[in-house]
Amino acid sequence: MVGKHAAAWALTLLAGIASLNVSAAEQPAKSLAAHYGIPDPAAIAHRGDSWNAPEETRAAFILARDEGADYLEADLQRTRDGVLIALHDTNLKRTTNVAERFPDRADAPVSDFTLAELKSLDAGSWFNKAHPERARSSFKGLKIVTLDELISIAEGGNNKPGLYLETKEPKLFPGIEKDLRDKLAERGWLSKGAKGNGDVNVASTRGRVILETFERDSLVKLNHEMPDVPKILLLWIGDGHIPAAKQAPRAKGESDASYYAKSRVRSRDDYYQWLDFAKAHGAEGVGPATRLADGGEWSYMDMTQPWMNEAAHQRGLLIHPYTIDKPVDFKRFQQLGVDGMFANDIRALLSFYKRPAQQSVDQILKAQGF
């Protein structure tokens, strides 16, 4: 009997050791997610449900909210009169009718326009032209959304998603980090508890807000303004980002995806230095670019290689790669041990996570007047 118990105990111990070996590198990051209340894995709606509605509009954000997203992701810029808005591109040509409304300013940056001027634009019709199979007449005339309006959307449904907010091209908007802190505090999305800049209390409500940026300088400023709010340093290879290894010049007619797929970091030490900078300046994670199976529009460089993920996890950094929409890629990145994903097609990601939306796209949009 003693021998049998010993054998059973040994088998149990070996199984436990094997389990620890599989996940040891991931444990610091998972503990960090639990500490901040960040879902693991996290389903991040990239610009809202931008697969089924015009990106960063009320329709896209409400749809993602009611489908069950953990976070509504948005790119923040600032109007000429100082209002934070959600918009990706630094000009308005791709996603609005600015060329019709303001033909002499069609190439002007967002910061050249007042909020009233931006609100006069149609930010939805472009989607119907680009994606006729998903078009809706109610998308025509959709407006650009302010951060204030986005917060109200996040608060307005049965599902209460967090906000995943990027300082977009922050060099164009000096002080945007402070503006962001002030708005989040004003709306009660930053709770009292930890001292931030000066006499302002800026501890976040356990993972309710995640801040993201590609710019190291902006990460430093975000950490200064909101030291207790989780932050993600987005990763890219090339000028101003992680140094790139030399590669052949771009071939004539070569697609973005094909060209990006050849990109490599110059050295592992360069990569480690970016991780160490992120960790030293308040980041709780990294958001790496990804190379997708089909090499489509959202396919970039391969920055989720096993050695990269292991290095991030060993430093206690979460890994939230962008932007992933298909089951073949969901499965591959999950097997690589990432801690969540950005998705345009958030419904597909939620289904993969076995958290399918309870209503159809049509049901949600019709219920919300779209």
Residues classed as catalytic: 46, 88
Residue 250: both structure tokens together:
């771009």
Q: How far apart are CA 198 and CA 20, in angstroms?
A: 43
**CA separation, residue 326 to residues 54, 226, 262, 342 (Å):** 19, 34, 22, 12
* CA–centroid distance for 249 within its chain: 30
- How far is residue 352's CA from residue 347's CA, in Å, rounded to a whole number? 9
CA distances from 280 to 47, 187, 346 (A): 28, 29, 32
> In sequence order, which residues have a C-beta less than 8 Å from that of residue 268 and are 6 or more positions away?
307, 311
Distance CA 302, CA 239 (A): 17
> Residue 158 corresponds to which tokens in the numbers above?
């049965």
